[in-house]
Amino acid sequence: MIVCKSPAEIDRMRGANEVVAAVLTDLAGAIAPGVTTGELDERAEALIRAAGATPAFKGYHGYPAALCVSINDEVIHGIPSPTRRLAEGDIVSVDVGAVLDGFVGDSAVTFPVGAVPERAAMLMRVTQEALYRAILAVKVGGRVSDIGDAVQRHVEAHGCSVVREFVGHGIGTAMHEEPQVPNYGPPGRGARLTEGMVVAIEPMVNLGRPAVRVLDDGWTAVTRDRSLSAHFEHTVAVAEEGPFVLTARGDERFDEVLASAGLAAPDGVEARWRKRTRLK
Ligand code: MF3
Ligand code: CO
């Protein structure tokens, strides 16, 4: 069952989502060669708790941390560790979830550590562009698979591949609600997108082949061919006037990224995707 949210509930969801966005903005400034993934996790958990929220991932099916931190060929669900240090040239995917006022927010960004190889920069750019193209595909009356189709087309046009084993999801009082949101087409399938649906859209994109496997820790997903992988995620509310990106960060430039993806950003996309409230 898909649980649609009222405008008042979507406004309430902004709390958790803004905490998540603020954590990612903070971590962007903390990521540097030599920093451990455990330090990032501690920092994130402290910020989440200082905001009066709780980490959504910690304890979820026994997951041990507030963050997932996945480096290079790690796709998602990397477990933070006090001995794992970021190195110059790595790419690091950071996934954050928080619960506040009964609702969950979920977002992820892949960051460069210092200067990264051109192919790594390309992979991150294509994955973020794919996420924004997917958000553009969110329209009342459309279908869930229109989102994945937008991801897949962009990713494959750039010679990269879409991970199939993990998908985006509905989100609300639970982190994982219906519907599942795969990152591939064909379009026109699945549930109809309706006013009040809230989905976490999260393309996971590999530089090489799409296949992944899970390490013996039971969590960390890595590419089978050891190629680099990137992950970007936003929690997005579906509304008649277009999508609201609940996890939008202050420094994010939707229009610039869409332009680099070869798309003229629709007029006012910055303001509309960030619109703070629908209530008077
Ligand atoms: N953003 C991820 C997801 O949507 C985070 C889950 S990590 C877990 O599935 F540990 F909580 F499972
Ligand atoms: Co998610």
- Which residues in the chain show pLDDT less than 50? 279-280
CA 77–ligand 1 middle distance (angstroms): 7
pLDDT score at 268: 80
Which domains does the chain show, CATH number per domain? 7-275 (3.90.230.10)
Residue 64 Cα to ligand 2 middle (Å): 16
State the pTM of this model.
0.97
Q: What is the pLDDT of residue 280?
A: 35
CA-200 nearest atom, ligand 1 = 4
pLDDT the model gives residue 149: 98
Residue located via tokens 């995917």: 93
Look at residue 128 in the predicted model and tell me its pLDDT: 97
Ligand 1 pocket at CB < 6 A: 57, 60-61, 63, 68, 77, 95, 97, 106, 108, 169, 200, 233
Residue pair 74/222 in contact by the 8 Å Cβ criterion = yes
Which residue among 20, 41, 45, 63 has the greatest number of ligand 1 atoms within 8 angstroms of its CB, and so is best to mutate? 63
